Amino acid sequence: MKKAILSCMSVVWFLTSASPAQAVEIDGLTVDLPIMTFSVLPGETLTFEGVPADATFTGPVQRMDGHWAFIPQIESGHYEVKLVTSAGDALIVNVFVLEPFNVDTQTKINGYKIGQYKTGYKGLESYAPPTGFIRVSPDLGNIQVSPNFRLGQFKCKQTYKGNDYYLLLEPSLLIKLELLLTEARKKGWVAEDSTFHIMSGWRSPDYNKSIGNKTSVSRHLYGDGADIFIDEDNDGYMDDLNGDGKIDIGDAKALERLAQSLSINSEGKWIKGGLASYRKNEFRGPFVHLDTRGYPARW
Ligand SMILES: [Ca+2]
Ligand SMILES: [Ca+2]
């Protein structure tokens, strides 16, 4: 989905550590990861720029207006596009063709509850209501959307009938989470695949309201917000990151401080957005919220 906040960014990817970084921009976004995920509406294209001349694509990608473009051939669903260079570097791009959604006439999509989106919030494009959703079958929930995250981790916690569910997931969020995870590991915090726990990813407005949230413009509603904690020991709570023998706000603050340092020291890779730590309560442990709303916000 195109958003103003993404238009100023571009993607760098490098897959084998020995190979030089190769800049590729996808939909105007810069990433340095071998797996990334994008969404388009039916009929929309996704542009690839800065593609090496020796690269080959698999998937519905064609030359168009001087660059490569992904052109969907189905009404909605999942594609895998693979770009391989002669040096053997590969970039996998999942592309979801969204199931269209009309905020003026729909509060459900195929029976799955969505609720009401606020329209025209502060005139900001990043708060424009969604025009489509990713449809997720149980199998699709397991696909890697970036090196360390699976699609199903971003699922809304609401109940629903049937097998398939819906969500939004912005590539900007995945880039931010991967960058934080990389830095957390450099710091010595152990967080293997999926143990960088997404406590809450996308939320429908309906579900967000049901859990008592007063704001109707949470970034969770737009697919670029996540509540996270590191849980390598898999007990359902944040680990003792600061090593003081307690699990409390101090551990969330330690993770928040790392994120804050990246907002200053990541050579422009840290995508601007919200950042906050939360204390534990009777239902859950401490956690950190982050998002990519396009401007810094702290609370
Ligand atoms: Ca834990
Ligand atoms: Ca601690």
**The pLDDT value given to residue 149:** 95
**Cβ atoms within 10 Å of 195's Cβ, excluding its own:** 16
**Residue 19 confidence (pLDDT):** 36
Question: How far, in Å, from the CA of 241 to the mean position of ligand 2?
Answer: 6
- Centre of ligand 2 to C-alpha 286, Å, is 10
103: helix, strand or coil: coil
Is the per-residue pLDDT at 11 higher than 70? Answer: no
Does residue 17 register a pLDDT over 70?
Answer: no
Please check the confidence at residue 22 and state whether its pLDDT lies above 70.
Answer: no
185 Cβ neighbours under 8 A, 6+ residues apart: 191
The string of pLDDT tens digits covering residues 180-199 is: 999 999 999 988 866 789 99
pLDDT over 50 at 12, yes or no: no
- Mean pLDDT to the nearest integer, 130-139: 97
* Nearest ligand to the CA atom of 251: 2
- Indicate whether 108 pLDDT > 90: yes
Ligand 2 mean position to 261 CA, how many Å? 19
- Residues sharing a CB contact under 8 Å with residue 212, sequence separation 6 or more, in sequence order: none
Across the range 127-131, mean pLDDT stands at 96
In tens, the pLDDT along 223-266 reads 999 999 999 988 999 999 999 999 999 999 999 999 999 998 88
**What secondary structure does DSSP assign to 16-45, as a single string?**
STTSPPEE-EETTEE---SEEEEEE-TT--
Q: Which two tokens stand for residue 295?
A: 């401007």
Ligand nearest to the CA of 229: 1
Largest CA distance in the chain: 59
Going by the DSSP 8-state scheme, the letter that residue 139 receives in this structure is T
Q: Show me where the domains of the chain are located.
A: 1-96
pTM for the whole structure:
0.92
For residue 185, the surrounding DSSP H or E stretch is helix 171-186
Amino acid 194: pLDDT: 63
Q: Compute the Cα dihedral for 190, 224, 51, 71 and give only its sign.
A: positive
- pLDDT at position 9 is 39
Ligand 2 centroid to 252 CA: how many Å?
8
Per-residue pLDDT tens digits for 209-235: 999 998 889 999 999 999 999 999 889
Instruction: Say whether pLDDT at 276 is over 90.
Output: yes
What is the topology classification, in CATH, of domain 1-96?
Immunoglobulin-like (2.60.40)
Q: Which ligand is nearest to the CA of 241?
A: 2
pLDDT of residue 10: 38
User: Which residues fall within 8 angstroms of residue 284, CB to CB, at 6 or more apart?
Assistant: 199, 237
The DSSP result for 199-225, as a single string, is EE----HHHHHHTT---S--GGGGT-E
CA distance 239 to 287: 10
278 alpha carbon – ligand 2 mean position (Å): 14
